[in-house]
Amino acid sequence: MARVTRSTLALAALASVAVPGLDPVAVGPADVHGLDFDVAVLQDAEGRRWTVRAPRRPAVAAVVDAEARLLPLLQPLLPVPVPVPAGHCRLPEGGRCVVSAYLPGSPLDAASLRAGSPLAAEVGQVLAALHEVDPDVFEEAGVPVYGADEYRLRRLADVDRAAATGQVPSSLLGRWERALEQVAHWRFVPTPIHGDLAGEHVLEHQGRVSGLLDWGEARVADPADDLAWVAASAPPDALDTVLEAYSMARGNRPDPHLLDRARLAAELALARWLLGGVAADDAQVVDEAARALARLADVVQAGNDSQRGALRAGVERDEFPGLDPDDTRDTDVADRSPDRGLPDRNPDGDRDDRNPDGDRGLGDTDRDRANDVTPG
């Protein structure tokens, strides 16, 4: 079925059905750049603001259902808000429209984080809090659960699918395959993750993290995925602050290759962006992703074959504006303790007893931030 697009007025009408008693008096478009959802922000007669979100394609309706199951369970366990559904209504073409309380804030630009700042530390603490959630919570919500080696093989499959498009330079394919074949780097303890973190999914309000949006890719898998956007964009010293706060808030010491995998995940996000464009039959997205991949390949081939720097000139997407090509720090997160100030949170050598050997596929490429409505 072709994609369905709705006006803001149509979304307001759906919201009034989804939440009994909700009387919209003003509605405006959200800051949306995605493929999969129509989103609007509205204000009701009592002055409350709401976000209304409806899938454009039946194929992505399952995302809404997964979020509706997970977010009510997750909200009490996190130090920041998530968009818990307040109501929903079924759509004629399939799936459902969901309404949630508006979360104030603007996209958090990782490149603006500063070393030692409360905001940088809070980013690390929030991610740690998510990764400390009992995996049973995610399993109860029915989200995917992957072991470490299974997840590595799925990433290899993503690379193969991206290669089949003919749009990925061979130098990148070889680079990614080599990284994914280093089995020792993939011995992590799977944790609950957001799975699609980027600047527009992390809200900042008055110098604090004010919310996490878009949970359709949530799963139990590699914690490095949630650090990719920071590893790719934050200044080196600010990244140190994030990682230090993250390590201190985790119950167990981060594995030695967490940051290596995070930087790889930032690059693989471009491949999933490409695959998302192919799946949605969106030629513009495919072209933009292909050009970003070509820029990344140029940087790698120029000799800056470091995951610390390859994205600076190679990627212009908002999520991953780039790494500092002059950043030559040690990438081993765990080995920074004690020399780099990351404490060993497990001095007795105890290990988490969950299986260390453990995506739904494509990353959620919708940019359906809900902000900046002008009533009237």
Q: What is the CATH number of the domain that holds 286?
A: 3.90.1200.10
Q: What is the count of structural domains for the chain? A: 2
My answer on whether 304 and 256 are in the same domain is: yes
Amino acid letter for position 128: A
My answer on whether 17 and 153 are in the same domain is: no
Radius of gyration of the chain (CA): 20
My answer on whether 127 and 45 are in the same domain is: no
My answer on whether 204 and 304 are in the same domain is: yes
Token look-up 């130098």 returns 171
Tokens found for residue 147: 């072991």
Residue where a domain stops, chosen among 45, 73, 103? 103
My answer on whether 198 and 282 are in the same domain is: yes
* 101 bridge partner residues: 50
My answer on whether 176 and 86 are in the same domain is: no
* Contact in structure between 123 and 238 (CB atoms under 8 Å): no
The range of the structural domain enclosing residue 278 comes to: 107-336
My answer on whether 275 and 166 are in the same domain is: yes
Does residue 25 sit within a domain? yes
pLDDT of residue 33: 54
Token look-up 């934050």 returns 234
Residue where a domain stops, chosen among 56, 86, 103? 103
* Contact in structure between 56 and 38 (CB atoms under 8 Å): yes
My answer on whether 201 and 270 are in the same domain is: yes
Q: Which runs of E-coded beta strand occur in the chain?
A: 24-29, 37-44, 49-55, 85-90, 96-101, 106-107, 191-193, 202-205, 208-212, 219-221
pLDDT of residue 370: 38
Half-sphere exposure of residue 310: CA atoms within 13 angstroms, side-chain side: 26
CATH number for the domain that contains residue 38: 3.30.200.20
Does residue 195 sit within a domain? yes
Tokens found for residue 203: 């809200």
Does residue 351 sit within a domain? no
Tokens found for residue 47: 């002055």
My answer on whether 56 and 164 are in the same domain is: no
Amino acid letter for position 370: A
301-308: long-range contacts (C-beta < 8 A, 24 or more apart)? 301/171, 305/175, 307/260, 307/263, 307/264, 307/267, 307/331, 308/263
Alpha-carbon gap, residue 192 to 117, rounded angstroms? 26
Q: Averaged in consecutive runs of 10 residues, what is the pLDDT profile of the chain (376 residues)?
A: 71 93 89 74 94 85 88 97 95 89 94 97 98 97 96 97 96 96 96 94 95 95 97 95 97 94 95 91 93 91 54 40 32 36 36 36 35 35
Does residue 349 sit within a domain? no
